[in-house]
Structure 1
Amino acid sequence: MRNLDITTLRSFVAVADSGGVTRAAGFLHLTQSAVSMQLKRLEELLGVELLDRSGRTIALTASGEQMLTYARRMVALNDELIGRLTDQEFEGEIVLGVPHDVVYPAIPRVLQQFNAAYPRMKVQLVTANTLDLKTRFERGECDMILTTEPEKVAGSQVLSAIPLVWVGAPCGVAWRKRPLDLAQGRSCIFRPIVLRALDGAGVEWNIAIDTDSDRAIEASVAADLAVMAMLDGTQPPHLEIVDHCGNLPPLPLQFINFYTRGNTESEASQALMALLRNAFGRPAAPRLQAAG
């Protein structure tokens, strides 16, 4: 296994750009003999001549011209990486708010990708219901938030529209009972939507568990004590979409809206925003203009 040294590549690029070892040595703050030795080691490692020394000035051989293209890229990538890891511009914290029900499966993947690209940036993840997240955002406690809402909202970007579906225990029968036992969080933004749909369809219902604990609600549904509404694709493995054959009313689309503050113009913030857009279905979305 042969490995190229970035310092040696940098010397080679400097010689090619300056047209000679002497000038390159001055640019690199090295002695002429040190630069010459680095070039010799590089040629010996590769087994080719990179410089044509037959004339009064140094020129690149055909191999040297090919090498120069790769050397520039490798030196530039080295400098970019060093700059990224040490530049204070890429240090700091971004507070991201996400509703409980859309954390999985997308958010862990987004955070992993962002951390790989910006290891010195910290993302503080806040999970709460949409109403709470919007309150925190208005108070300036979050830099950006995702929400699940029944409509497009001025001042936000629509990332995707996902249908609500009825969810229950695998092979469960709770959906057949009347009154229908329902498990939906007190502060869940879906709760009034679900109740309106049931009332509109003339389906009697009963709140089987009145809590804001997502774990308690999911446990009740998994035990086939009730059903609930979730965004299609977000149901955990221990729950499944109810095949109710029209015995439960259809539920409307919900929008995943994206809110950002004015302090998110940095490269790192823009990168996180792009990852979130890609994860939730659309690479870009138009921003709705706030009224007034």
Structure 2
Amino acid sequence: MRNLDITTLRSFAAVAETGGVTRAAGFLHLTQSAVSMQLKRLEETLGLELLDRSGRTIALTSAGEQLLVYAKRMVALNDEVIVRLTDQAYVGTIRLGVPHDIVYPAIPRVLKQFNAAFPRVQVQLISCYTKALKADFGKGEIDLILTTETFVDAGGETLCVKPLCWLGAPDGSAWRQRPLKLAFGRHCTFRPRVIERLDKAGIDWDVIVETDSDRTIEATVSADLAINTMIEGTEPPHLQRIDHGGHLPDLPAQMINLYGATRSKNMVHDALADLLRRAFGNEEHTRLRAV
């Protein structure tokens, strides 16, 4: 009788779901060689080829596709048994990436709720711009990421679609000036679409602040020296939505997407993903998972 090893099944499932050994190694906190050895041992145990390595990317063979269904169930059952029978609290770190501009107000609430449920698990919050977060996620360096985009890539899940809004200083007048003075983040994904709307409306503009610092942008806008755009509902309390009465163009909507939620590792990973869904509006998906 041959016995399957949960560790090798966990590595196999991670490779299948991430599409590569390097990414899986990052998610599992293992070396690439360790994951490769585990895959080889699993194939030798079964006497089957589970991965098709003939192409540029790793694909599953027919046997691999069948095993993946069982592997995910066995890993999940293993984790459930350990938790319930040993009363072992989850311990460790989960890495969450969030763009600067959507950290508030939702993420502090998510972190507080998560800490109450899993007090011995540390959430390492990585705040950066969407392009960098997706690059690090692709290398397996982050477990879950939120993004602000106009589309959603394969493996992503759109949590909500919200419009952008114009922001200025409370009772400010910078929005009336021409050319219109703007403050933007250097890697802001909103900027091209905002500029496009201004050009179509025939409004002259000038970017007077271009920076990697959100604090610099907020200080400039708070001083009524420029205006900015943010996703509706994420604006800080010291800035105000501009009631321009049609003197500024309407702005397009933006998606808030979640990546990594389909790569279920354990109860901790799934719980954090569900808290993010609740915080950003995709409650229907959360309810379906709970059924």
Residue pairs, 1:181-220, within 5 angstroms: 181-220=181-220
2: CA distance between counterparts of 1:179 and 1:85?
A: 66
Q: Tell me what 2:151 maps to.
A: 151
Q: Tell me what 2:102 maps to.
A: 102
2: CA distance between counterparts of 1:84 and 1:150?
A: 45
Deviation sequence 1:124-183 (CA, Å, 0-9, x none): 100011111111111211101000112233321010011100000001000011110000
Q: Tell me what 1:142 maps to.
A: 142
Answer whether contact 1:166 1:228 (CA < 8 A) is retained: yes
Q: TM-score, normalised by structure 1?
A: 0.66
Given the alignment of the two structures, is residue 280 of structure 1 paired with residue 280 of structure 2, yes or no?
yes
2: CA distance between counterparts of 1:130 and 1:93?
A: 22
Q: Tell me what 2:165 maps to.
A: 165
Q: TM-score, normalised by structure 2?
A: 0.67
Answer whether contact 1:159 1:284 (CA < 8 A) is retained: no
Counterpart of 2:210 in 1: which secondary structure? coil
Measure how far apart 1:84 and its partner are: 9.5
Answer whether contact 2:92 2:121 (CA < 8 A) is retained: yes
The size of the alignment, in residue pairs, is 205
> Equivalent pairs: percent with the same residue?
53
* Distance change in 2, residues 1:261/1:142 (3 Å): farther
2: CA distance between counterparts of 1:239 and 1:281?
A: 23
Counterpart of 1:183 in 2: which secondary structure? strand
Deviation sequence 1:71-113 (CA, Å, 0-9, x none): xxxxxxxxx9x9699626x122110000111111111111111
Measure how far apart 1:264 and its partner are: 3.2
Residue type of the partner of 2:156?
S
Q: Tell me what 2:117 maps to.
A: 117
2: CA distance between counterparts of 1:168 and 1:105?
A: 18
Q: Structure 2: give runs of 5+ residues left out of the alignment.
A: 1-80, 287-291
Answer whether contact 1:182 1:228 (CA < 8 A) is retained: yes
Q: Tell me what 1:92 maps to.
A: 92
1: CA distance between counterparts of 2:261 and 2:233?
A: 28
* Distance change in 2, residues 1:221/1:85 (3 Å): farther
Residue type of the partner of 1:185?
G
Answer whether contact 2:129 2:188 (CA < 8 A) is retained: yes
Runs of 4+ in 1 over 4 A off after TM superposition: 82-86
RMSD of the TM alignment (CA)? 2.1
Q: Structure 1: give runs of 5+ residues left out of the alignment.
A: 1-79, 287-292
* Distance change in 2, residues 1:146/1:102 (3 Å): same
Measure how far apart 1:237 and its partner are: 1.1
Residue type of the partner of 1:249?
P
